[in-house]
Structure 1
Amino acid sequence: MPFVEFIAGCISGAVGLAFGHPMDTVKVRLQTQAKFKGIFDCVARTYTREGIPGFFKGMAFPVLITGISNAAVFGSYSNALDYLTQSQRSDRSQGHPACASAVFAAGCFSGLVQVALMAPVDLVKVRLQSQMGRPGIGGDQYRGPAHCVTLILREDGPRGLFRGGWALALRDVPCYGLYFLPYEISCRILTEEGQQPGTFAVMMAGGVAGVVTWACATPMDVVKARLQMSGAGGRVYQGVLHCMSMSLKEEGIRVFFNGLLLNSLRAFPVNAITFLAFENLMRFLTRPAEI
């Protein structure tokens, strides 16, 4: 059933997003606003000004769309891997694993599909997360996702919804290749030959995959976030290279690792839960029907 992966990816993505969004909000603010001294300062000031709801800014929009995104990632990855290896998922789980090059290529393809679908959603999420107004009192530029989209279209036209898209592609296409590769390798190491990976193996492999991916993705993630805030209260940049050169000149090489610790702390549990949900859903949805 070629669409089972899309269904499982949809549900598991929503679960992972809901779990990790508060830490993602802190990460975005650290990357786009220089006024914070570190993670704890950002958390404290966010809580003081906005309370608990401040950590969930921008979540409603991604939650509605993240199912589509994760479905696209897991579905396109699984189907691309089937095509590249000329095998099925059940065959690979029974002692015929895919080669590393096929896993990486299928992951890169899933990243490309994800970028095409999610660039506008990611832009809106970042802009909503970067607001520091207190709920119910005003001070925020955007009143919500729909208002944010309306203002972007009014100011920049449809192209404005894809601001930072090149940086997003440079981050996601290779990094989704890296995302699935350590997962597959870790699962093989932690699973006896001929057996399906258990809960521990899936969670460890998912966590490792998340940490490895974000360690590689964080520099371009910083550039992406800054480009997405360009012209919306942030510094105006002319493109990816201009953003990188100006950030390096003004803040040094360390600027490209803003949020790395938080990304890593968030990536392990979020991706462990995402992969565990995906694998369990796949087993449930593909189990033989009882007669």
Structure 2
Amino acid sequence: MVDIFETLPSIGNQKPDTESLKDGFKDIIFGSIAGMTGKLVEYPVDTVKVRLQSQPLSGPLHFEGPFDCFVKTFREEGLRGFYRGLTSPLVAAALENASLFVTYNYAQDFLIRNVYRRTDTVLPVSVLVGCGAFSGAVTSFVLTPVELIKCKLQVQAFYGTSSAAKNRSLVYHIKQIFLEHGLRGFWKGHLGTFIRECGGTASWFGSYEYVSSLFRSANNCSTNTTPEAIISGACAGIGYNISLYPADTIKSRMQTMSITSGSDKGGKGFLEVSRDIYKSGGISAFYRGCGITACRAAPSSALIFVTYETLKEWGRDL
């Protein structure tokens, strides 16, 4: 295949304001499409991950492991069970990736304009890691409300106390959260999302840029082939998920507590939930579903980066 994948730092070159706005709009569109494409592929595994993370802290576990969760979900709910709550994360994926790419590229552009002051600057990977952390911090505020609802929808079929509780709709959860906690309630578990996104996104973009640069150096060229982009994207996905997985487990536990335990128990905070998880199963309890999550992240992230870069190439003349 023709070498069409150019390094992302080139996006940060100084441009007129109108051109920057145009590129920002393209990032929103291309990032949204890439994010939704990746989400459709990874969502069944994400459902399994959340159900494993949200198991009761006391008593026997509902699932023995990822395979058992797959089998029980399919047996009790069919294929539909793996896609419970898909609407919310599909919107989230569009918002998340649009936000990630826009803010990531904005951070680069800002540094080139105001720190390096040279339009031909290629930012080092260490700086790009910082740009990724900034991007994740901003995006965490977008993600938390959508993930809160998504997690509730994913676990209610197994932990709901009645037939009605097992089939509550997206609208029901939105109304219930607002009535019980107001707008602030939509950001329950935000600290976990913030920590995960800051570190995870830094690792996501950093891994992609680093592996991509290794291929370019080895081939002595300025572009990456499609297979190289796929490998770089897969490494990025694995890096993102294993870097701060415990924070994601704590976040999922906080966001599903009202379903799995029947109440919010006074709205336990990040540290209190962390202690509860540790007491229930030690360090390993923080990593329930981590292996399968890393496996699904590899193809999903590869698809996101390849889709984004392909669209970026096609849209250069627009």
Letter in 2 for 1:8: F
Match of 2:288 among 237, 258, 270: 258
Q: Which residue of the other structure, out of 121, 125, 128, is the alignment partner of 2:146?
A: 121
- Secondary structure, counterpart of 1:42 in structure 2: helix
Contact 1:103 1:180 in 2 (8 A): yes
Q: State which of 90, 93, 96 in structure 2 corresponds to 1:66.
A: 93
Letter in 2 for 1:259: G
Residue in 2 aligned with 1:150? 175
Match of 1:242 among 272, 277, 281: 272
Pair 1:27 & 2:49 matched: yes
Give TM-score scaled by structure 1 length: 0.90
Quote the residue 1:183 is aligned against. Answer: 208
Measured in 2, the distance between the counterparts of 1:132 and 1:142 equals 7
Aligned amino acid, residue 190 of structure 1: F
TM-score, normalising length from structure 2?
Answer: 0.83
Shift of 1:67: 1.4
Specify which structure has the bigger relative contact order, considering alpha-carbon pairs within 8 angstroms and separated by 6 or more residues. Answer: 2
CA distance in 2, matches of 1:182, 1:162: 29
Q: Does the alignment pair 1:51 with 2:74?
A: no
Match of 2:15 in 1: none
Q: Which residue of 2 aligns with 1:82?
A: 109
Shift of 1:186: 0.5
CA distance in 1 between partners of 2:225 and 2:106 (Å): 23
Mapping 1:130-279, distance limit 5 Å = 130-132=155-157, 138-141=163-166, 143-191=168-216, 192-234=219-261, 236=265, 238-279=268-309
User: Structure 1 residue 86: deviation in Å?
Assistant: 3.8
Offset of residue 69 of structure 1? 1.8
| Percent identity of equivalent pairs | 29
Check conservation: 1:77, 1:109, Cα contact below 8 A: yes
2:23 aligned counterpart, secondary structure:
coil
RMSD: 2.1
- Whole-Å Cα distance in 1 between the matches of residues 214 and 156 of structure 2? 44
40-49 or 190-199, which deviates more: 190-199
- For structure 1, list consecutive stretches of 5 or more residues without a partner in the other structure: none
8 Å CA contact 2:200–2:239 kept in 1: the answer is no
1:285 aligns with 2:315: yes
In the alignment, the residues of structure 1 paired with residue 204 and residue 229 of structure 2 have an alpha-carbon distance, to the nearest angstrom, of 14
8 Å contact kept, 1:84–1:102: no
Q: Offset of 1:139 from its aligned partner?
A: 4.1
Q: Equivalents in 2 of 1:264, 1:168: separation in Å?
A: 17
After superposition, the C-alpha distances for 1:212-271 in whole angstroms (9 at most, x for unaligned) are 111112111110100111233337462111111121112111101111101111110000
Asked if structure 1 preserves the Cα contact closer than 8 Å seen for 2:156 and 2:259, the reply is no
- Which digits, 9 at most, give the CA deviation of each residue in 1:6-55, with x for residues without a partner? 22111100100111000000000011013110011101111111110000
Whole-angstrom CA distance in 1 between matches of 2:232 and 2:252? 28
Asked whether the 8 Å contact 1:226–1:243 carries over to 2, the reply is yes
